[in-house]
């Protein structure tokens, strides 16, 4: 039978709009203001977004104290914002408990890292995709020229017409949209038949086929690197001789690989010298709760003593905004869209949230003090219904699993997923069927926007910060602003002044694209109990 271990949060870090760290995040929450600002990626638009406030330079001293100078420079140059945000938030999380950095290292494979993302680092992906696209267009244009393609010359003079050739752009007005759309497939078709390109590739193949000498393969890394450089030098000379542009397969930076979904977790494992498994859970908007569940489960099974969990999203990006807009879930009237009010849609945001969770008794026995609240229940489920429209039964299954050892009356406050869309009233209805009618609701995406994976982490951290003090931070909301479809449920909401809350349990629901749900239940620590446990640690 699995031993029941108590789970605490022993470190956390934040990168969020107007909040480069957890301390600023805490201060900002105490005002009922929005942290959103106009999106400038289209030049002008009617979108508000949550730009993360972040400067990687803040963490240079931390790296200089632990690594050669090149390490910081490598991370600055090779890592996109998704990874850098996570690294910054992780470094913050180590500061809550001096000595925890070395303790995590001492756990060996019993310290895990589960840090994921939503849509990934689309900033890096788009930059490299555009570079590739430009290189491919230039490449095809060069090799499809008649002087380099005998097949095209034969097609044009009628000696051997290609029946499969696409429409020629020469029939169209140069520069027109139709001309552009016709030009690219035309050039791709004839580049593939270019006899000059066939000759070029044969010459390049001969260069690349040169083997690495035995002396380089027997342990000399510098000799191997020298051979690789010689080959690349010969390829550049070949390109100059042909007068051809850069090959499309040489146009994409390896940074595309260095910023895939698992890299934030991998970088945390490397800079933290954590040797347990490090990988990326990905569950859209439910991701942070899923990472919490994975961490709690690993600790309960005895596979881990501590787990670094978290999520990270790049800054707002035009492609993401366009996708959300066309999914009809994005506000586009240049005004803050707050949950429970106009139901006009949400706002895209970026940043990171990292927690260190662990076996509370074990970590407190080493003198580490918990932050926030104790995690007492976590549930997850799938709707098996629709890719974006939440069901009723799916979220309730996650809530039921998280509340398995509790009574509904124990839960005094509940943070909603609430995206300021027509799904908000249904979420209220579903929650009230599971909870006590006096529960107090919060919904904060009108404050800092909707980070696809990290939003749930910000919301859960805000809940923990407040409830640990017996309060709920204010929301920009008044009773008279509630949407008519929300009012009918007679739910209680935190408003502009915030409120004090009697000791009790807190719940947080997140619902992700694809129909994945996560629910986390927490309760404040008993300060006297913590003091006793820490006192025993000092005595031992």
Q: Residues of the chain whose pLDDT is less than 50?
A: 1, 216-217
User: For the chain, where do the domains classified as CATH 3.40.47.10 start and end?
Assistant: 7-120+261-539
Pair 472, 440: CB distance under 8 Å: yes
Q: Give the list of residues 6+ apart from residue 378 with CB closer than 8 angstroms, or none.
A: 289, 292, 293, 296, 297, 401, 402, 518, 519, 520, 521
| Tokens encoding 369 | 């003090």
- What pLDDT is attached to residue 224? 77
Pair 384, 395: CB distance under 8 Å: no
Beta strand pairing status for 111-117 and 278-279? Answer: parallel
Contacts 24+ apart (CB under 8 A), 390-395: 390/423, 390/426, 390/427, 390/511, 390/515, 390/517, 391/515, 392/426, 392/430, 394/511, 394/515, 394/517, 395/427, 395/430, 395/509, 395/511, 395/517, 395/519
The domain covering 7-120+261-539 belongs, at the CATH homologous superfamily level, to Thiolase/Chalcone synthase (3.40.47.10)
- What pLDDT is attached to residue 480? 85
- What pLDDT is attached to residue 220? 53
- What pLDDT is attached to residue 219? 53
- What pLDDT is attached to residue 221? 63
Collapse the DSSP code of 180 into the 3-class scheme (helix H, G, I; strand E, B; otherwise coil) and give the result: helix
The predicted model scores a pTM of 0.95
- What pLDDT is attached to residue 101? 98
Q: How far is CA 54 from CA 15, 21, 166, in A?
A: 7, 8, 49
Residue 249 has phi, psi (to 5 degrees) of: -75, -5
Q: Is 299 exposed, middle or buried (0-12, 13-18, 19+ CB in 10 A)?
A: buried
| Secondary element (H or E) of residue 287 | helix 287-300
What is the distance between the alpha carbons of residues 316 and 371, in angstroms, rounded to a whole number? 30
User: What is the residue-wise DSSP string for 154-173?
Assistant: HHHHTSS--TT----GGGS-
β-strand partners of 511:
517
């Amino acid at each position: 039978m699995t031993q029941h271990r108590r789970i605490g949060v022993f470190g956390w870090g934040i990168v969020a709009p107007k909040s480069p760290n957890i301390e600023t995040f805490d201060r900002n929450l105490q005002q009922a203001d929005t942290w959103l600002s106009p999106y400038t990626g289209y030049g002008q638009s009617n979108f508000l977004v949550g730009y993360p406030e972040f400067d990687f330079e803040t963490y240079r001293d931390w790296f200089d104290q632990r690594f050669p100078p090149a390490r910081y420079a490598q991370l600055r140059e090779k890592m996109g914002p998704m990874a850098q945000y996570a690294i910054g938030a992780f470094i913050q999380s180590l500061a809550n408990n001096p000595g925890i950095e070395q303790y995590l290292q001492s756990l060996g494979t019993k310290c895990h890292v589960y840090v994921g993302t939503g849509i990934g680092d689309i900033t890096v992906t788009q930059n490299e995709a555009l570079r590739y696209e430009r290189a491919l267009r230039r490449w095809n244009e060069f090799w499809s020229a008649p002087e380099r393609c005998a097949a095209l010359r034969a097609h044009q003079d009628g000696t051997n017409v290609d029946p499969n050739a696409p429409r020629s752009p020469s029939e169209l007005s140069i520069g027109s949209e139709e001309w552009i759309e016709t030009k690219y497939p035309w050039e791709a078709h004839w580049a593939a038949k270019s006899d000059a390109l066939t000759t070029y590739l044969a010459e390049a193949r001969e260069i690349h086929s040169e083997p690495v000498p035995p002396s380089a393969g027997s342990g000399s890394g510098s000799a191997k690197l020298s051979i690789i450089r010689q080959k690349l030098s010969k390829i550049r000379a070949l390109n100059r001789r042909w007068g051809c542009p850069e090959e499309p397969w040489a146009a994409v930076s390896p940074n595309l690989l260095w910023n895939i979904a698992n890299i934030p977790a991998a970088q945390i494992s490397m800079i933290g010298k954590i040797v347990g498994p490090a990988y990326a859970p990905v569950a859209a908007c439910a991701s942070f709760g899923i990472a919490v569940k994975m961490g709690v489960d690993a600790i309960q099974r005895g596979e881990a003593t501590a787990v670094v969990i978290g999520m990270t999203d790049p800054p707002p990006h035009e492609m993401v905004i366009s996708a959300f807009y066309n999914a009809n879930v994005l506000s586009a009237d240049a005004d803050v869209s707050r949950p429970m009010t106009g139901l006009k849609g949400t706002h895209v945001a970026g940043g990171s949230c990292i927690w260190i969770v662990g076996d509370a008794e074990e970590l407190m026995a080493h003198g580490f003090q918990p932050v926030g609240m104790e995690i007492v229940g976590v549930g997850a489920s799938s709707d098996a219904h629709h890719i974006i429209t939440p069901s009723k039964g799916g979220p309730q299954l996650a809530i039921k699993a998280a509340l398995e050892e509790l009574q509904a009356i124990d839960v005094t406050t509940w943070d909603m997923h609430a995206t300021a869309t027509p799904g908000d009233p249904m979420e209220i209805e579903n929650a009230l069927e599971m909870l006590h009618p006096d529960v107090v609701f919060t919904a904060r995406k009108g404050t800092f926007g909707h980070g696809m994976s990290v939003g749930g982490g910000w919301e859960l951290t805000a809940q923990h910060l407040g409830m640990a003090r017996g309060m709920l931070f204010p929301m920009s909301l008044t009773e008279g602003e509630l949407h008519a479809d929300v009012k009918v449920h007679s739910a209680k909401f935190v408003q502009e002044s915030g409120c004090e809350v009697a000791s009790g349990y807190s719940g947080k629901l997140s619902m992700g694209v694809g129909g994945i749900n996560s629910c986390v239940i927490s309760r404040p620590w008993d300060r006297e109990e913590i003091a006793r446990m820490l006192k025993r640690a000092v005595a031992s």
